[in-house]
Amino acid sequence: MLLMEMMRTALTPEKLAAFDSFIDGLPDGYQAVVRSGLSQQARILGAQLEPNDHIPRPLERVYGVVHERIVRGEIVTNGQSLCLLQVDEILRNEPGTRVNVSDADGDTQPQYQLRLTFLTGTTDRKPLEDFATLVNKELSADLRKFILGSQRFEDLKNEGGQPPTAPTHSELSLASELIDKSVRTLAVAMKAVGGLLVSDLGNQLPGRSQGEVERAKNSLLQTGLAVSEVVVICRKSQAQIACVPGRETLEDVSRLSVICACGRAYLDERIEEALNVIDATRALLDSSRWLSLIVLDELLRLGITLDQIRIDQVRGGDELDAFVNVSGELVLFEFKDKRLSHVTVVSDLIA
């Protein structure tokens, strides 16, 4: 899993000059990949590395009416993640023309922007937070999260619908248990018929061993997806005549001389243990909401914010399980209860 987050902040010309000193003085645990690479190349080739060889050749990029010239850059690593630092000089809509900002004395100075792109193969954001704190301290900067926009996502979002609510710990805990196919199959069957006799659980999992059936049953009970009940079945008609939370309750009822229509006392009838799902589990199984929550949690762990996510939307009569702005790309998710079939980057969803 690749996690990428971007941050940016304005930078004054004075702090631009301090950028090189900051990179040269990185604390232990950090390494400047570009500079160390150039130094190694120079050593291997027996070349002399000039003081400004690490400064990139000016490169201009055009975004609408905004032009940017890259004037500094470095890749910093702690051995587990990469931090790409880039300083841009902001230009006017004519290439090569600076955008100047006035200082307190009325003088003008070029406007610079520092970008930080964080890349890692885990969902641990602490290295990003630590390095961003270091940059802010050393350069007196104010790095803030930056999200690339997607016009296609904005167009779909403007058709209606609200961003989802972050799942609670309890919801995620239950939803994660439903990933298990055996557990989910039993839960779906219980929801459909209003509960299952423990003796019938194996019929819902054909081909599975008794040990697998027992494991799924224990998982349902231990995680709270289902509760155990005591069912009373008439020996004469084989119909279920009572369902109570436990045997103690059944004994209390029997003391009141409540009997079956056939004339037998409840305790003399066939008594079996049954399982039934709780209301929260029913809600998670409706429209496979459990899967939506799992995907939503993964998106949040990747750093995608709630306002960049839409789940269970309807567009032109078509249902969209989820569409998300991922680094400026509109991504459509199609959910399947048995498996997540595919994720497609949609480039032509909107005409």
| Domain boundary, last residue among 242, 257, 277 | 277
31: enclosing H helix or E strand: strand 31-32
**Which of 38-47, 53-62, 130-139 reaches the highest mean pLDDT?**
130-139
Model-level pTM?
0.67
Q: Is the pLDDT of residue 258 over 90?
A: no
**140, 266: one domain:** no
Asked, for residue 350, whether it belongs to a domain, the answer is no
Asked, for residue 25, whether it belongs to a domain, the answer is yes
Asked, for residue 248, whether it belongs to a domain, the answer is yes
Q: Which two tokens stand for residue 37?
A: 């690479």
130 versus 48: the higher-pLDDT residue is: 130
Q: Which two tokens stand for residue 54?
A: 């690490």
**252, 299: one domain:** no
**36, 95: one domain:** yes
Q: Is the pLDDT of residue 128 over 60?
A: yes
Q: What is the pLDDT of residues 200-215, one digit of tens each?
A: 999 999 999 999 999 9
Residue 52 is predicted with a pLDDT of 55
Q: Which residue has the tokens 């305790």?
A: 267
Q: Which two tokens stand for residue 197?
A: 């006799």
Number of domains in the chain: 3
- How confident is the model over 250-278, as a mean pLDDT? 79
- The DSSP secondary structure of 216-228, one letter per residue, reads HHHHHHHHTSEEE
Asked, for residue 351, whether it belongs to a domain, the answer is no
The parent domain of residue 245 ranges over: 179-224+226-277
Residue 337 is predicted with a pLDDT of 61
Asked, for residue 332, whether it belongs to a domain, the answer is yes
**246, 341: one domain:** no
Whole-angstrom Cα distance, residue 205 to residue 339? 18
Spatial CB neighbours of 265, under 8 Å, sequence gap ≥ 6: 254, 257, 258, 259
- How confident is the model over 253-275, as a mean pLDDT? 78
**236, 324: one domain:** no
Residue 96 is predicted with a pLDDT of 45
**160, 296: one domain:** yes
Q: What is the pLDDT of residues 34-43, one digit of tens each?
A: 887 777 776 7
Asked, for residue 174, whether it belongs to a domain, the answer is no
Residue 285 is predicted with a pLDDT of 94
Residue 340 is predicted with a pLDDT of 42
Closest CA to 328 of 110, 74, 146, 165: 146
Q: Which two tokens stand for residue 259?
A: 């009997």
| Domain boundary, last residue among 239, 261, 277 | 277
105 versus 330: the higher-pLDDT residue is: 330
**234, 294: one domain:** no
**Which of 17-21, 144-148, 205-209 reaches the highest mean pLDDT?**
205-209
**50, 130: one domain:** yes
Residue 116 is predicted with a pLDDT of 94
**91, 201: one domain:** no
Where does the pLDDT of residue 178 fall: very low under 50, low under 70, confident under 90, or very high at 90 and above?
A: very high
**249, 306: one domain:** no
- How confident is the model over 72-86, as a mean pLDDT? 91
**269, 327: one domain:** no
Asked, for residue 35, whether it belongs to a domain, the answer is yes
Percent of the chain with pLDDT over 70: 80
**185, 290: one domain:** no
Q: Is the pLDDT of residue 343 over 70?
A: no
Whole-angstrom Cα distance, residue 284 to residue 194? 16
Q: Is the pLDDT of residue 88 over 60?
A: yes
Where does the pLDDT of residue 349 fall: very low under 50, low under 70, confident under 90, or very high at 90 and above?
A: very low
